[in-house]
Amino acid sequence: MNVHLIRSSEFDSNHFWEVLDLLQKFPGIMRFFTNEEHVLIADEEIRQEKYDSENFHVQKSLSMEMCSDKKVEVVKWETFFGKCNDFRRKNDIGDEEFVVLLTDYSNDKNWFAAADPNARNLFVQTKYWDYFAGSDQRYPVAYHVVTVILKKLMFRDYLDLNLHWHEKPVGCMMDFCRNKNEISLKLRTADICPDCLKLISERKVDHTVVQQVFDVLDGIRTQMVYKERFVINRKAPLMVFEGRNQRIVFPELGDLEIRLTPLEKTVYLFFYRHPEGVELNCVQDHRAEILNIYESLSNADNVKTMEARIDDLISPLSNSISEKISRIKRKFSEALGEEMANDFVIGGENAEKRFIQDTKGIHNALTS
Ligand SMILES: [Zn+2]
């Protein structure tokens, strides 16, 4: 069963890949793909709406009314599903396959995620998760991708679905979460209650799909708990470098990968190999070593090009290396949260020695 993920253009492509990476970690009958295509939602398809704080926090039922205060960009469900159908036509996607649109835009019924009543299309909202779940957006987004697929396979239509929502949250995927703040319970438990399990079995949903959904939910729960406990136990996760491209991966966080460009990764590996620290104005003394790292990572086959890039990187006249260091910091912080990222970013100020905390013998990373 193929599941094609697409994004609307405003949803950050790194975050899109993080969700896809996470889902692909749980192999099974559902196979998650993307062709990296993104869809454009035109200005005239977006409505600016204002919610007061109360309504912003309310997930509306099929009937709804609107209010004012918080400005939200709203797109109709039909528009989202129309984009999914365009993608189907263009890429010859079969009716049995799923198309999932990940989008920052809110929607006219103010739901987190929903399926198309007429086809195997669904959308998942990717924005505002910090308001409701306070967690890494990958988890709520991946959670909704798999649970909405399961619901689409379980229920005939919205009438049927509406008969089975839990109005009172029990930590099950069928909790309606009319008050959006209730979503954190659903994510933390990441479970399916006994009544719903019985229903899944009565409705004869393919058990291999159900198993895979369980695997994803279990994985999400473990990783979320790991991150939450960090606040108390300060146990930094293990970081490993994988393969020829030295992918930077955190296995305990569901193989979360920090995606750096070859030049950024060159800078990172250089400092990783110098736990004693190096001042920025001494970096050019290490030209040969830096060039060597870059040659092993870069896809550029022209030696002259590679040399020019490294010379620019280490030139005391350019700001290039500082820029790379801040960009690396941003990428780690976005993926791990600022606190957890502290051990892994290249620390130090101005003329001080710069080094990565994690290399100071506090935690040992492995190279494979
Ligand atoms: Zn339930």
Q: Which two tokens stand for residue 112?
A: 């987190």
Asked whether the beta carbons of 209 and 154 are under 8 A apart, the reply is no
Shared domain for 264 and 341, answered yes or no, is yes
Ligand 1 geometric centre to CA of 235 (Å): 34
**Strands of the sheet with 70-75, listed across from one edge:** 46-51, 70-75, 106-107
Identify the residue whose tokens are 């299309």: 121
Q: Kindly state whether residues 28 and 101 are assigned to the same domain.
A: yes
The last residue of one of the domains, among 191, 207, 233, is 233
Q: What pLDDT is attached to residue 220? A: 86
Task: Tell me which of 314-328, 337-351, 352-366 is least confident.
Answer: 352-366
Q: Are residue 109 and residue 145 in the same domain, yes or no?
A: yes
Q: How many CB atoms lie within 10 A of CB 309?
A: 18
Distance of CA 159 to the CA centre of its chain: 32
Domain boundary among 233, 267, 291: 233
Q: Kindly give the distance from the C-alpha atom of residue 60 to the centroid of ligand 1, in angstroms, as a whole number.
A: 19
**Average pLDDT value for residue range 304-328:** 93
pLDDT value at position 68? 43
195 and 259 part of one domain: no
Q: Which helix (H) or strand (E) holds 194?
A: helix 194-202
CA of 23 to the centre of ligand 1 (A): 23
- Identify the helix (H) or strand (E) that includes residue 353: strand 353-356
254 alpha carbon – ligand 1 mean position (Å): 26
Residue 36: pLDDT band (50, 70, 90) is confident
pTM, two decimals, is 0.76
Distance, CA 159 to ligand 1 centroid (Å)? 17
- How does the average pLDDT of the chain come out, rounded? 87
- Integer Cα distance of 305 and 13 in angstroms: 27
349/353 Cα distance (integer angstroms): 8
Cα 62 to ligand 1 centroid, rounded to whole Å: 20
CA of 86 to the centre of ligand 1 (A): 34
User: SS3 for 86?
Assistant: helix
Residues bordering ligand 1, an ion, CB closer than 5 Å: 172, 174, 193, 196
User: What is the 139 CA–ligand 1 centroid distance (Å)?
Assistant: 19
- % the chain with pLDDT above 90: 55
Which residues span the domain enclosing 246?
240-367
Does 169 lie in the same domain as 256? no
Give the distance (Å) from ligand 1 centre to CA of residue 82: 30
Give the pLDDT confidence of 67-116 residue by residue, as tens digits: 445 678 899 999 999 999 999 999 999 999 999 999 999 898 888 899 99
Residue 362 has what pLDDT?
46
Number of independent structural domains in the chain: 2
Q: Does 29 share its domain with 155?
A: yes
In terms of domains, do 220 and 253 share one? no
* 28 and 139, same domain (yes or no): yes
Looking at the structure, tell me whether residues 155 and 44 fall in a common domain.
yes
Q: Using one digit for the tens of pLDDT, what is the confidence trace for 131-170?
A: 666 667 888 999 999 999 999 999 999 999 999 999 888 9
Return the closest-CA partner of residue 290 out of 305, 273, 276, 277: 273
Q: What is the pLDDT of residue 230?
A: 83
pLDDT at 54: 66
> What is the distance in A from the centroid of ligand 1 to the CA of 170?
7
CA–CA gap between residue 91 and residue 79 (Å, rounded): 18
Q: Is residue 134 located within the same domain as residue 75? A: yes
Cα(253) to ligand 1 centroid in Å equals: 27
Q: Give me ligand 1 centre to Cα 151, in Å.
A: 11
Domain co-membership, 288 together with 205: no
Task: Find the 207 Cα to ligand 1 centroid distance in Å.
Answer: 17
CATH code of 55's domain: 3.40.390.10
Q: Does residue 145 share a domain with residue 118?
A: yes
Last residue of a domain, one of 203, 233, 263: 233
pLDDT at position 3 = 98
Q: How far is the CA of 212 from the centre of ligand 1 (A)?
A: 17
| Count of CA atoms in the C-beta half-sphere (13 A) of 213 | 25
CA of 172 to the centre of ligand 1 (A): 5
Q: For residue 92, what are its two tokens?
A: 């010859």
pLDDT, tens digit, for every residue of 269-285? 999 999 999 999 899 99
**pLDDT interval class at 360 (50, 70, 90):** low
